[in-house]
Chain A
Amino acid sequence: MQALKIFAEHYNYVITIFLMVAGLYVVVARGNMVKKLIGLSVFQTSVYLLYITPGKIVGGTPPILDPAFTVYSNPLPHVLILTAIVVGVATLALGLALVVRINEAYGTIEEDEIFAKDDEQ
Chain B
Amino acid sequence: MTAVMPHLPALQVVVPLIGAILAGFLRRGTTGFALALAVSWLMPFIAGALLWQVLAGGPISYHLGGWEPPYGIEYRVDVLNAFVLMLVASVGAVIMPFARRSIAFEIDERGQAWFYCMYLLCLTGLLGIAITGDAFNAFVFLEISSLATYVLIATGRDRRALLAAYQYLIMGTIGATFYVIGVGLVYLVTGTLNMQDMAARLGAAFATHPHSVIAALAFLTVGVSLKLALFPLHVWLPNAYAYAPSFATTFLAATATKVAVYLLIRLYFGVFGPALNIQKLPVGELIIGLSIAAMFAASFIAIFQVNLKRMLAYSSVAQIGYITLGIGIANQAGLTGSIVHLANHAMMKAALFMALGAVFYRIGSVRLHDLAGIGQKMPLTMAAFVVAGFGIIGTPGTVGFISKWYLAVGALNAGGWPLVLVIMASSLLALVYVGRVVEVAWFRDVSPACKDASDPPLSMLIPLMVLTVATVWFGIDTQWTAGFAGKAAAMLLGGLK
Q: Is the CB of B174 within 8 A of A24?
A: yes
Stretch in contact with the other chain, from A1-9, A47-55, A58-66? A47-55
A22 in the interface (beta carbon within 8 A)? no
Q: Is the CB of B174 within 8 A of A94?
A: no
The chain B residue with its CB closest to the CB of A101 is B162
- B80 contacts across to A, CB distance below 8 A: none
Q: Given the interface contacts A33-B166, A90-B147, does A106 sit within 8 Å of B174 by beta carbon?
A: no
Q: CB-CB contacts of B238-277 with A at 8 A, as 1s and 0s?
A: 0000000000000000000000000000000000000000
A57 in the interface (beta carbon within 8 A)? no
Q: Is the CB of A95 within 8 A of B169?
A: yes
Q: Given the interface contacts A50-B184, A87-B143, A90-B147, does A98 sit within 8 Å of B166 by beta carbon?
A: yes
Q: Is the CB of A91 within 8 A of B169?
A: yes
- A83 contacts across to B, CB distance below 8 A: 136, 140
A-B interface contact total, Cβ < 8 Å: 66
Q: Given the interface contacts A98-B162, A98-B165, does A44 sit within 8 Å of B181 by beta carbon?
A: no
Q: Is the CB of A98 within 8 A of B169?
A: yes
- B193 contacts across to A, CB distance below 8 A: 80
Q: Is the CB of A44 within 8 A of B163?
A: no
Q: State in angstroms the CA–CA spacing of A114 and B166 once bound together.
A: 12
Q: Given the interface contacts A98-B154, A98-B165, A118-B160, does A40 sit within 8 Å of B173 by beta carbon?
A: yes
Q: State in angstroms the CA–CA spacing of A50 and B174 once bound together.
A: 16
- B143 contacts across to A, CB distance below 8 A: 87, 90-91
Q: Is the CB of A47 within 8 A of B184?
A: yes
B188 in the interface (beta carbon within 8 A)? yes
- Given contact pairs A91-B143, A91-B173, A98-B166, enumerate 12 new A-B contacts (beta carbons under 8 Å): A40-B170, A40-B173, A40-B174, A50-B184, A51-B184, A83-B136, A87-B143, A94-B147, A95-B166, A101-B154, A102-B163, A102-B166
List 11 contacting pairs A-B, 8 Å CB cutoff, sorted by A. Answer: A37-B170, A40-B170, A50-B184, A80-B193, A83-B136, A91-B143, A91-B147, A94-B151, A95-B170, A99-B166, A105-B159
Residue ranges of B at the interface with A (Cβ–Cβ < 8 Å):
136, 139-140, 143, 147, 150-151, 154, 159-160, 162-163, 165-166, 169-170, 173-174, 176-177, 180-181, 184, 187-188, 193
